[in-house]
Structure formats: structure tokens, C-alpha cells
Amino acid sequence: MIPLTVGTLAESPERPAVLDGSRFNRHTFWCGQSGSGKTYALGVVLEQLLLHTALPIAVLDPNADFTELARTRDDADRADAERWGDLGIRVLHSSTEREPQLHIRFVDLSVRSKAAVGRLDPIVDEEEYNALLHLDVTPETFSRDTFLQTLAASTDPARRRLGLRLDNLQILEWPLWAFGGSSGAAAVAERPRAVVLDVGGFTHPGEPQAAALGILEDLWLKRMERRPILIVIDEAHNFCPPAPRSSVEAQLTEQLIQIAAEGRKFGLWLFLSTQRPTKIHPNVLSQCDNLGLMRMNSPRDLAELADVFGFVPPDLLQSSPSFRKGEALFAGAFSEQPQRVRIGRRLTVEGGSDLAVAAG
């Protein structure tokens, strides 16, 4: 067992609440309604994992909640702060105003993912899809203008139509693309102790999901290396909803379903955080063995949790609406027995805390 002290027991404040860090080699589901303290508590658990295990962590962060993860609070324990400074935490930003920036290489995406970004169906758009399938481009030679010009000058009508589609949709204008530069997937592949992928500052709504797709596809492609990593996905309903609303979202959901079903044996472990379990694809949710539950008022959501996490005593689940802010129920492989916990203090600065209303 690797003990992680995440707070105190709600009913016995003098006793520490401990999770087993060695049991994050399972998929974890973390949920709580808005205002429950879910994201703050998630930060506490990630800090403990970074301090007391050697498990690399990649965080898909759509709300900039973890962009300050490398910076400790002024009142943090000095010894912990010194250790924290040696971890080498990396943060890649989607905002063009902050460095280093998060980029993905378009040419590194699979054909199916490139087609999803371009809204191409292999049957309905069979000729354009086939043209995409047989394109021969490399990261070293790929540039936006040259690529589009080459397609426009092609003698193949399907290639010209493909070029027009990409140009009309302005896909290659997205700031996300690295072209021949460095990729966020390469940063994750280096396995730093933690890398935060800030996907919330992109201008086009498809960019955060395309960024996540590039990261997850690369991890899956290299799965036989069996290099463990904890993949933390905050606001996970934006990445694997029950009913995908776009071709990119459908491809991303399919990739997460595959990782949820088969990733454990390759060391690809999910940590999914969201407000409601019913907003997550059931084929992903059903694969989770750890549960962190904060205040939840919805009877439908509590019924869903009771169905998926049958090992949790029903009376504990039903007590969730009475949880105070910062209280959580932990159950599953990482908790010796179900426990109600008062979450402890963060070591690092919270990046996306609520804005206050100014007095008039």
C-alpha cells in the first residue's frame, strides 16, 4: 500500500483519511455537482499522487484549473514545497499569449481522425476520404500553404475537392496545429511527472477535442511499450458523452471507450471528473473501479451510481445530498472500505477558482 493522506474522516476529524496510491492502476470516476468542491479536491488527490508515487500524470484541463500546478501556495509546508520544485511539472497552454503552447501535428493523426476533423464520412464522401487515405505527407515537409496548393493543383478531382473542403472549413488555420514543430503528444511521451494540457483557450470549438484525440491516439499507438500513465480528464462529459454531437467527438469517445475497456493491461489508466455520471458514455463509466463522490442532489444520477458501483452501500450514496462543500465519499479499489472524508488543503495554487462579486 502507498498511503495518500487526502484529509480527515468526516465523522472522526482526528483521524486521517487515506487512499491507496498503488490502486490508481484502475480507472477512477470522480463526480460532484457544481459548488461541491470537486475540482479543488481533485487537486488534493493529484498532489498526493505526485508527492508519494512515481506515477506520471497527464491532465486534460478545459477550464485552466490546473495551469498553476507547478506553483506552491505561499503558506505551503517548506519541505513539501522544495520537493515539489524538483518534480519538473510542465504546463502547455492553448492561449497564444502564454508559453509554452500546446500543439498537435495534423499529419500525426490517424486517417480516421483526420477525416473526423474534416467531417468526412468514408461512405458518403468516399472519393475525398480515399484521397485523404493515400496522401503522402510527413511532419518535416508539411506546411499549410504548400499542402493546400498541392491539393488545388492536383490532376485528381477528389484531391482538389479535399483541398477545397479543408480550405473552406479553415481547419488548417487552427492555432492547435504544430505543422513541423513540437507536439504535445511528444511531451506526454517523455513521461514527465506531470504535464498539464490546457485545452480551454482555443478559439474553435473543435480544437480541444482534436487536441485530446491527438494525445490519446498517440498513447494508444504506443501502448505496447507498457509505460504507465494516469490520464486525468476534467469535465470529461466534453470528451466522451453518451451521444456524440460531432464527428471529432464521436472519434474521441470511441478512443476513450477502447482505453477504458483495454487500457489497464497496458498501463493506461483513466481518472475521469465530471458533474454528472449520466453525462458520461456508459461504456466508459462501467469500466471504473474507484469512485470519488461529492455532493450530488439528483436522484437519477445517484441511481446511476448505485447501478454502476454496486459495491458502495446504498445508504452512503443516498447521503450525498447532505455533504458539505469539500466532503467526499471514497469507495472502491483505492479505499480499504467506503469512507466519508473532509478534504484537506491544497499544496499548489488553484488555477480556476470562482470569481467573486464585487461590492457596489
Domain that holds residue 169: 110-173
Domain membership of residue 351 (yes or no) is no
Q: Which residues pair with 93 in a beta bridge?
A: 101
- Three-state SS letters, 71-116: CECCCCCHHHHHHHHCCCCEEEECCCCCCCECCECHHHCCHHHHHH
Model confidence, pTM: 0.93
For 284-320, how does the pLDDT look when each residue is reduced to its tens digit (9 = 90+)?
999 999 999 999 999 999 999 999 999 999 999 999 9
Whether 234 and 305 map to the same domain: the answer is yes
How many CA atoms within 13 Å lie on the side-chain side of 223?
15
My answer on whether omega of the bond before 241 falls inside 30° of 0, hence cis, is: no
Q: How many domains does the chain have?
A: 2
Whether 19 and 161 map to the same domain: the answer is: no
State whether 140 and 267 are in the same domain: no
Q: What is the CATH number of the domain that holds 235?
A: 3.40.50.300
Say whether both 161 and 281 belong to one domain: no
List, for residues 37-86, the tens digit of each pLDDT value: 999 999 999 999 999 999 999 999 999 999 999 999 998 888 888 899 89
pLDDT tens, position by position, 140-199: 767 888 889 989 999 999 999 999 999 999 999 999 998 877 899 999 999 999 999 999
Tell whether 95 and 118 lie within a shared domain.
no
Residue where a domain terminates, one of 173, 197, 225 = 173
Query: Is 270 found in the same domain as 335?
Result: yes
